[in-house]
Amino acid sequence: EDKVVQSPLSLVVHEGDTVTLNCSYEVTNFRSLLWYKQEKKAPTFLFMLTSSGIEKKSGRLSSILDKKELFSILNITATQTGDSAIYLCATPSGTYKYIFGTGTRLKVLA
Amino acid sequence: GAGVSQSPSNKVTEKGKDVELRCDPISGHTALYWYRQSLGQGLEFLIYFQGNSAPDKSGLPSDRFSAERTGGSVSTLTIQRTQQEDSAVYLCASSLDRSNQPQHFGDGTRLSIL
């Protein structure tokens, strides 16, 4: 059965810290892995990764995929209180479906 | 509209009533998804539409759940004879098509069954 597992489940850090969020997956016919940030309501798209070793960056956020070891990491440097959110990863499963992990709840303290 | 719009944003109803949730996707997006997010849980896939057809209904949790999409645009998710375990946030997402495109989510409908 296809699955996505995220760790840690929750994390509390102070502003300025660097965090690494993990997402491991098992899926037949891997196509892509996606990261989303969910603050209060709608998850917002961060990155889509399809190839190993190519880092995607957006400001202080970056992500990389390892297709051999079946995982991805999301790094956030110099964290700010506005980074507090649930971070979700997901992968397509089968023809139409997407499987999401349960998310990592990040809280950044001032 | 600019983004995915869902209504109502909140719905409180009594057990046994029927509810209808609406999703208005981004214009031009042919793929539409419904998810359910319970407290502390990840997103649970419910159903996918490509245009007006739903080739995969396997995620619907019971036959009390149904969904339709008309005109390749607005979709409604209907829950009949609601139960307390149906309480959750129901999220809708759309994408240009289903082939490896990121999904854009609405703010969801928070459904509470008393």
Judge whether residue B1 has pLDDT over 60.
Answer: no
Across B103-114, average pLDDT = 95
Across B89-94, average pLDDT = 96
pLDDT in tens, A5-52: 999 999 999 999 999 999 999 998 899 999 999 998 889 999 999 988
Judge whether residue B85 has pLDDT over 80.
Answer: yes
CA nearest B94: which of B37, B45, B46, B30?
B30
Q: How far is CA B26 from CA A56, A92, B67, B73, in A?
A: 25, 21, 18, 8
Chain A CB contacts of B45 below 8 Å: 97-100
Q: Which string of DSSP letters, residue by residue, matches A20-80?
A: EEEEEEE-SS---EEEEEESSSSEEEEEEE-STT--EEETTEEEEEETTTTEEEEEE-S--
Nearest-CB residue to B42 (from A42, A92, A103): A103
B33 touches A at CB < 8 Å: yes
Q: Which residue of A has its CA nearest to B46?
A: A97
How far B86 CA lies from chain A's nearest CA (Å)?
A: 18
- pLDDT of res. B98: 64
pLDDT in tens, B3-55: 999 999 999 999 999 999 999 999 989 999 999 999 877 899 999 998 888 88
Question: How far, in Å, CA of B52 to CA of B67, rounded?
Answer: 10
How far A32 CA lies from chain B's nearest CA (Å)?
A: 7
CA nearest B101: which of A24, A41, A34?
A34
Cis peptide before A8 (omega within 30 of 0): yes
Structure tokens, A100: 């999401």
Nearest-CB residue to B56 (from A31, A44, A97): A97
Q: Which residues of A48-70 are buried (b: 16+ CB within 10 A; e: fewer)?
A: bbeeeeeebeeeebebbbeeeee
Question: How far, in Å, CA of B47 to CA of B57, rounded?
Answer: 5
Of all residues in chain B, what percent carry a pLDDT higher than 90? 73
B49 touches A at CB < 8 Å: no
Report CB contact under 8 Å: B40, A102: yes
CA nearest A75: which of A101, A110, A106, A31?
A106
- pLDDT of res. A97: 84
- pLDDT of res. A96: 78
Q: Which residue has the tokens 């719905």?
A: B11
Judge whether residue B104 has pLDDT over 80.
Answer: yes
